Structure 1
Amino acid sequence: MAGPSHYIMPRAEFDKPVKILIVVSPYYKDIADNLVAGAQSEIEAAGGTHEVVEVPGALEIPTAIGIAERMSNYDGYVALGCVIRGETTHYDTVCNDSSRAIQLQGLQGLCIGNGILTVENRKQAEVRADPQDQNKGGGAAAAALHLIALARKWGNAGKGVGFTSQLLAKGGDTV
């Protein structure tokens, strides 16, 4: 039985290419590989480039994104992994803390698509990760791309009342 249908926004479009870092926890390697394949396909379809880095678990994904944001030049990020409910409350900690950290990074202005699956069992994960089924990796990449498009749109608005931002010290434009 198919689930309810939902609206999917048209693919984001760019004048200048985007560079995205995909941060993945390959704890469940086959699921992670499918998530990455879906994300790569979506980024490439939008004309973007990507790099992939692996971290041990879902809790390390936001930390890696934070390091990359401080030390490199990515336009956005895709967080990918899978947390399957086990017998202890560790599941709740990993799900809540990784999601909360990514949300806080987003509120600070990072363009992140969160594709960390939080599921009850392996079958749910397989269906969600499959690029030919729910393609949650592709969906996370699409989310990051849409946020990058918004950031570029608003970042080029030329707003300002004579103040300069921290970017000026780094050789950026005034705002």
Structure 2
Amino acid sequence: MAGPSHYIMPRAEFDKPVKLLIVVSPYYKDIADNMVAGAVAEIEASGGTYELVEVPGALEIPTAISIAERQANFDGYVALGCVVRGETTHYETVCNDSSRAIQLLGLQGACIGNGILTVENRPQAEVRADPKDQNKGGGAAAAALHLIALSRKWGTQTKGIGFKPASEEFRIASASTDNGPAKA
């Protein structure tokens, strides 16, 4: 039985190339590999480039993104991992805390596509990770790319209020007409 159809936005387009960091937890290696394949295909289809790093688990994904946001030069991030419900409350902790941390980073301005699967069992993860099926890795990359496009669009706009530093041309012109410090 087919599920409901979902609207998928057209692929984001860019004037200048984009570079993303894919942060993946390969805890379930086959699931992670499928998600990475979907993300890479989406990034390359948009003309972007990427780097890939692995971290031990879903809880380490936001930390790696935070480090990269502070110390590297990426336009956006793709968070990929899989959390399968087990017998303890650890599932809720990992799902909630990784999602909350990624959301907080996004609210601080990082362009992140969250592709951390939270599923009840492996078959659910396999369907969601498969690039030929639900392709959640590709969807996470597309989300990051759309946020980067918005960031670039709004980053070039000014609202015409507030302090703006003088342009280099203005400082050069002012320096040539400056008669030096005032004398008492």
Instruction: Give yes or no for the alignment of 1:62 onto 2:62.
Output: yes
Structure with greater Cα Rg? 2
Q: Which amino acid aligns with 1:45?
A: A
Q: CA deviation at 1:30?
A: 0.2
Q: Partner residue of 1:153?
A: 153
| Cα distance in 2 between the residues matched to 1:112 and 1:37 | 17
| Cα distance in 1 between the residues matched to 2:164 and 2:80 | 36
Q: Partner residue of 1:94?
A: 94
Q: CA deviation at 1:162?
A: 4.3
Q: CA deviation at 1:161?
A: 2.5
Identity, in percent, stands at: 85
| Cα distance in 2 between the residues matched to 1:65 and 1:129 | 21
Unaligned segments of structure 1, at least 5 residues: 166-175
Equivalent runs, 1:42-57 vs 2, <5 Å: 42-57=42-57
Q: Which amino acid aligns with 1:98?
A: S
Q: Which amino acid aligns with 2:50?
A: H
Aligned residues: 165
Equivalent runs, 1:133-152 vs 2, <5 Å: 133-152=133-152
Q: Partner residue of 2:37?
A: 37
What is the CA RMSD across the aligned residues, in angstroms? 1.0
Q: Partner residue of 2:105?
A: 105
Unaligned segments of structure 2, at least 5 residues: 166-184
- Show structure 1 runs of 4+ deviating over 4 A: none
Q: Partner residue of 2:173?
A: none
Q: Partner residue of 1:8?
A: 8
TM-score between both structures, scaled by the size of structure 2 = 0.88
Q: Which amino acid aligns with 1:148?
A: I
| Cα distance in 1 between the residues matched to 2:90 and 2:12 | 36
Q: Which amino acid aligns with 2:62?
A: P
